[in-house]
């Protein structure tokens, strides 16, 4: 089969492309403004990328067009189609489908699907779970919304696992990041309803995606749909749902109806609990110690992610002690607290610590706060953290959560906001932070603001769900050229 993917550089669609290529299909795709890491992965697989959505691509004549949810029937200001190729597909009657539907029909059929859902932590938890199963010799397939360091790719088909008590039918295992965003412009159901999981993690749930959901209740409704399709208990049921007991919203979802075996984690009284600091903690199952996790990850959020992954792995026969061994070597995910480089400032003494530049995918206020809190726990109270962020998602551009930004940035010593293309005044929103917040309308101007304030030993954390205009390399280049100047008072630019 020859498939052409619209929106191929999204993390989900790029992973789908890798799976299709592994199955032997011919794959090409198009997107706008492609950027790493997905563009690098696709080119390494030999997948041709076409810039833009011009209607001429109809002449490729694939067997099937696979449509990403970035594509719509939107019009530009002059009335022309924003996605001319989609209009040409519809007009020609060429066959097309959504990414989740293609995945369900061509990859997930006959597999034991382990799905990770929630507002935050999906990518990291999915990568953890896949690595645990790999360490246990179960050869899982997976599709992760990022590139796990332990695998170097975002997706693979996997193999046939050995027979275990948790998987007596020897179904191939497939771990998938289960996103609540809509499937396509022609299918407004959440992506995850296509996946039919047998093991389901519900990590957390709060309001997001203000461009497609009116309120939290609308998102909870989609999660209730997901819960309904997990197999039940009894002689003909083998489903398990693993739920964060700290989340009131998930409590409402489960109270609306649950037909599967349920396990809880996180709360003071849960089936799975953690005792200790996030980098070293004891795991308790039903109140009894079962293993200890010692690893390189930071933050309470990752401690909770680990509990969920351990519980899910146990459902397919992996003992918690084996899971803990895997987590001890877990390499994280690209763009999740990824160290992009370090620079010792010119003019600083040999004893001065270098400036470190990190990249993280955080874009929701809660994710920004937990990421900063994790870094603060790692570096201690004395080190300075410079938070450089871009409110890029549709939700943030609409300003639905702008009031939470000062709260989310509380752990940073200075915050630098890229305010380009926002429909609201970032300077006004960040005014409660006074001199701790600085705003610029371009990436280059933002880099200069950071350089003007940087000191030896600073931790610069860049947060965006996009390429952020290549700010990481721009900062590293500017830091290398920077000569330390005498300490200056922070400019009150807000």
The end-to-end CA distance of the chain, in Å, is 55
pLDDT of residue 169: 63
pLDDT over 70 at 35, yes or no: no
Please give the residue that has the higher pLDDT: either 480 or 265.
265
Q: pLDDT band at 483, cuts 50/70/90?
A: low
pLDDT of residue 230: 96
Q: What CA–CA distance (Å, rounded) separates 164 from 138?
A: 9
Across 153-167, 242-256, 367-381, least confident range? 153-167
pLDDT of residue 486: 45
The Cα-based distances of 489 to 202, 436, 440, 457, 484 in angstroms read: 46, 11, 18, 18, 14
Contacting residues for 489 by C-beta, under 8 A, at least 6 apart: none
Report which of 373, 393, 217, 395 is spatially closest to residue 304, judged by C-alpha positions: 373
pLDDT over 80 at 439, yes or no: yes
pLDDT of residue 491: 37
Q: What's the mean per-residue pLDDT of the chain?
A: 90
Q: Degrees (nearest 5) of the Cα angle 198, 204, 206? A: 130
pLDDT over 50 at 494, yes or no: no
Query: Mean of the pLDDT values across residues 342-362?
Result: 81
Polymer length in residues for the chain: 494
| Sign of CA pseudo-dihedral 274, 150, 124, 107 | negative
pLDDT digits (tens, 9 = 90+) for 269-286: 899 999 999 999 999 999
pLDDT over 90 at 465, yes or no: no
pLDDT of residue 277: 92
pLDDT of residue 351: 62
pLDDT of residue 101: 97
Share above pLDDT 70 across residues of the chain, in percent, rounded to a whole number: 94
Query: Mean of the pLDDT values across residues 468-480?
Result: 89
pLDDT over 50 at 86, yes or no: yes
pLDDT digits (tens, 9 = 90+) for 369-424: 988 988 998 899 999 999 999 988 777 777 778 888 999 999 999 999 998 878 88
pLDDT of residue 461: 95
Contacting residues for 270 by C-beta, under 8 A, at least 6 apart: 245, 264
pLDDT of residue 132: 98
pLDDT of residue 366: 85
pLDDT of residue 280: 95
pLDDT over 50 at 115, yes or no: yes
Across 15-19, 204-208, 284-288, 441-445, least confident range? 204-208
Q: What CA–CA distance (Å, rounded) separates 270 from 287?
A: 8
Asked if residues 416 and 440 have their Cβ atoms less than 8 Å apart, the reply is yes
**Three-state secondary structure along the chain?**
CEEEEECCCCHHHHHHHHHHHHCCCEEEEEECCCCCCHHHHHHHCCCEEEECCCHHHHHHCCCEEEECCCCCCCECCCCCECCHHHHHHHHHCCCEEEHHHHHHHHHHCCCEEEEEECCCCHHHHHHHHHHHHHHCCCCCEEECCCCECCCCCCEECCCCCCCECCECCCCCEEEEEECCCEEECCEEEEHHHHCCCCEEEECCCCCCCCCCCCCHHHHHHHHHHHHHCCCCCCCCCCCEEEEECCCHHHHHHHHCCCCCEEEEECCCCCCEEEEEECCEEEEEECCEEEEEEECCCCCHHHHHHHHHHHHHHHHCCCCHHHHHHHHHCCCCECCCCEEEEEECCECCCCCCCCEEEEEECCCCHHHHHHHHHHHHHHHCCCCCEEEEECCCCHHHHHCCCHHHHHHHCCCCCEEEEECCCCCCCHHHHCHHHHHHEEEECCHHHHHHHHHHHCCCCCEEEEECCCCHHHHHHHHHHHHHHCECCCCCCCCCCC
pLDDT of residue 493: 38
């Amino acid at each position: 089969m020859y498939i052409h993917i619209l929106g191929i550089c999204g993390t989900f669609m790029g992973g789908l492309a890798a799976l299709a290529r592994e199955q032997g299909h011919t794959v090409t795709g198009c997107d706008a403004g492609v950027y790493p890491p997905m563009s690098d992965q696709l080119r390494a697989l030999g997948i041709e990328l076409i810039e833009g959505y011009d209607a001429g691509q109809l002449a490729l004549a694939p067997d099937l067009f696979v449509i990403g949810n970035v594509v719509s029937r939107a019009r530009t200001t002059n009335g022309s189609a924003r996605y001319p190729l989609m209009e040409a597909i519809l007009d020609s009657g060429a066959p097309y489908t959504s990414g989740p539907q293609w995945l369900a029909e061509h990859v997930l059929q006959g597999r034991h699907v382990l799905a990770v859902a929630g507002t935050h932590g999906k990518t990291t938890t999915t990568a953890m779970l896949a690595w645990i199963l790999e360490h246990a010799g179960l050869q899982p397939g997976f599709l992760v919304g990022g590139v796990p360091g332990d695998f170097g790719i975002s997706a693979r088909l996997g193999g046939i696992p050995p027979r275990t008590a948790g998987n007596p039918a020897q179904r191939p295992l497939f771990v998938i990041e289960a996103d609540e965003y809509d499937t396509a412009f022609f299918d407004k159901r959440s992506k995850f309803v296509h996946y039919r999981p047998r093991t389901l993690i519900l990590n957390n749930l709060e309001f997001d995606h203000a461009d497609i959901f009116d309120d939290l209740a609308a998102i909870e409704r989609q999660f209730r749909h997901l819960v309904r399709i997990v197999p039940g208990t009894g002689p003909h049921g083998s489903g398990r749902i693993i739920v964060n007991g700290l989340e009131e919203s998930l409590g409402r979802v489960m109270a609306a109806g649950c037909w599967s075996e349920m396990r809880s984690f996180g709360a003071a009284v849960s089936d799975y609990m953690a005792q200790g600091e996030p980098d070293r903690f004891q795991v308790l199952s039903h109140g009894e110690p079962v293993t200890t996790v010692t690893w390189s990850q930071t933050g309470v959020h990752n401690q909770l992610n680990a509990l969920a992954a351990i519980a899910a792995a146990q459902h397919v026969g992996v003992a918690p002690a084996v899971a803990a061994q895997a987590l001890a070597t877990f390499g994280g995910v690209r763009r999740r607290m990824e160290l992009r480089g370090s620079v010792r400032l010119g003019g600083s003494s040999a004893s001065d610590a270098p400036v470190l530049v990190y990249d993280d995918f955080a874009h929701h206020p809660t994710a920004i706060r937990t990421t900063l809190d994790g870094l603060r726990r790692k570096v201690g109270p004395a080190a300075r953290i410079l938070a450089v962020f871009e409110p890029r998602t549709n939700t943030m551009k609409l300003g639905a959560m702008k009031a939470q930004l000062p709260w989310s940035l509380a752990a940073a010593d200075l915050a630098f906001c890229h305010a380009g293309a926002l429909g609201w005044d970032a300077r006004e929103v960040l005014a409660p932070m006074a001199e701790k917040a600085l705003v610029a309308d371009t990436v280059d101007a933002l880099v200069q603001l950071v350089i003007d304030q940087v000191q030896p030993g600073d931790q610069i954390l860049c947060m965006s769900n996009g390429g952020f205009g290549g700010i990481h390399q721009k900062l590293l280049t500017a830091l290398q050229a920077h000569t330390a100047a005498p300490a200056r008072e922070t400019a009150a630019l807000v």
